[in-house]
Amino acid sequence: MTTAMLAVFIGSSIRLAMPLLLAAVGELVSERAGVLNMSLEGMMLAGAFAGAVGSWSTGSPLLGLIIAIVAVGPVALIQAFLTVTLRANQIVSGLGLNILVLGSTTLGYRWIFGARSRETIPGFDRWSPPLLKDIPIFGDAVFTQVWLVFAVPFIILAIAAVLRFTVLGISVHAAGEDPGTLDRAGVSAVRIRYGVILFTGSMAALGGAFISIGDIHTFTEGMTNGAGYLAIAAVIFGNWTIWRSVIACLLFGTATALQFQLPAMGVHVPSAVLIMSPYVLAFLSVAGLAGRQTAPKALATPYWR
C-alpha cells in the first residue's frame, strides 16, 4: 500500500465511522440509564430520510439536519412511552419500531422521489481546516471532510464530561444500576429514562442525516443498512465505556473501508466477505469473545416505581 493510498484509506475509515460514532454515543448514554434502544436503526433511518427530504425541499442542508432531529423526536417518544411508561419489552418494541420506520420511509421515498429515483439532493460540502490541509500527502485525503466530522470529537468530550463530572451524569448511571434508589433520593428515574431516549434519538438523527446529506447526498430505501445494530454492538464491544465504544466504531469503520480499499490495491477477496466483515466483528463482540462484558445492572429491565 502506497502512502497516498494509506491516506485515502484513513480518511475513508474516519468518514464511515462517523454515523456509528454519533449513534453509539447516544445509545451508550441510554444504556447507562438502563434502556436498550433496539429502535436505533429505525431512528437513524428516519433521520436519514427526514434530513434528505428537508434538504431537498428547502435547498438547505442545515435546515435538513434540523428537520431530521425534529422528525426523529416522535419515534423516540414512542419508544419511551412503550418501554418506560407501558414497560413493554425493550427488544421487541424496538424491533417493531424499526419495521414501522422502514415501511414508512420506503413509502415516503417512493411517493416523493419515485420508485427507482437516485436524485441528488443538496448536501454539506467538504472542507479542510487551514493548518491540517497543508500536511503533505495526508492533509487533503484525511482532513477534507464534512464539518460534522470535526464536531464529533467535541460532542464526545462534552458527553464524557457530563457523565463523569455532573449530577446529571451520576443520575444517569444510577438509573441504570438501581433506579429505585434514585427515586428515593428525589430524582425521577422515569424522567431520566425519557430524557436519555430523546437524546439517543437526536444523536441517531445526526448519524442518519450524516449518511444522506453529509456523505452520499441522496436517499435510498433502507440506506442505513444495519448501522444502528452496529452502533449497539459497538457499545457492547466497548463494555459500556465511551472511549472503548469510540474505538469499536473506528474499528467497524475501518472494516467497512476495506470493502473499497482492497480491490483498489488489487487484492482479490470475495465481495461478500468484505461486506460481512463489520458484522462478523459485531457478532464477536456481542458473543462476548471480545472480552468480559459488564453491563449496567438494570439494563433492559422495566422499572416499577
Q: What is the mean pLDDT of residues 216-227?
A: 91
Alpha carbons 228 and 43: distance in angstroms, whole number:
8
Q: Is 68 part of a structural domain of the chain?
A: yes
Count of helices and strands (H, E) across the chain: 12, 2
Q: Is residue 265 part of a domain?
A: yes
Q: What is the pLDDT of residue 77?
A: 97
Backbone angles phi, psi at 294, to 5 degrees: -125, 95
Would 126 be classed as within a structural domain?
A: no
Backbone angles phi, psi at 196, to 5 degrees: -70, -30
Cα separation of 193 and 39, whole Å? 15
**How deeply is 143 buried, as exposed, middle or buried, from its count of CB atoms within 10 A (0-12, 13-18, 19+)?**
buried
Question: Is residue 123 predicted with pLDDT exceeding 90?
Answer: yes
Q: Identify whether 302 is part of a domain.
A: no
d(CA 47, CA 239): 26
Give a yes or no: residue 76 inside a domain: yes
Q: Which domain holds residue 100?
A: 9-114+154-286
pLDDT digits (tens, 9 = 90+) for 160-180: 999 999 999 999 999 999 999
| pLDDT, tens digit (0-9, with 9 covering 90-100), for 177-221 | 999 999 999 999 999 999 999 999 999 999 999 999 999 999 999
Residue 137 covered by a domain: no
Q: Which of 8-12, 29-33, 281-285 has the lowest mean pLDDT?
A: 281-285
Cα–Cα distance for residue pair 171/24, rounded to 1 Å: 20
The answer, yes or no, to whether residue 290 has pLDDT greater than 70, is no
239-257 pLDDT tens trace = 899 999 999 899 889 888 8
**Does 141 score more than 70 pLDDT?**
yes
User: Residue 138 domain-assigned?
Assistant: no
Residue 134: pLDDT over 80: no
The answer to whether the CB of 17 falls within 8 A of the CB of 250 is yes
Model confidence at 286, pLDDT cuts 50, 70, 90, reads low
What pLDDT was estimated at residue 113?
83
pTM of the prediction?
A: 0.92
The mean of the pLDDT values for the chain is 89
Q: Give the model's pLDDT for residue 157.
A: 96
Q: How many domains are there within the chain?
A: 1
- pLDDT single digits (tens) 75-98: 999 999 999 999 999 999 999 999
Rg, C-alpha atoms of the chain: 19
Residue 241 maps to a domain? yes
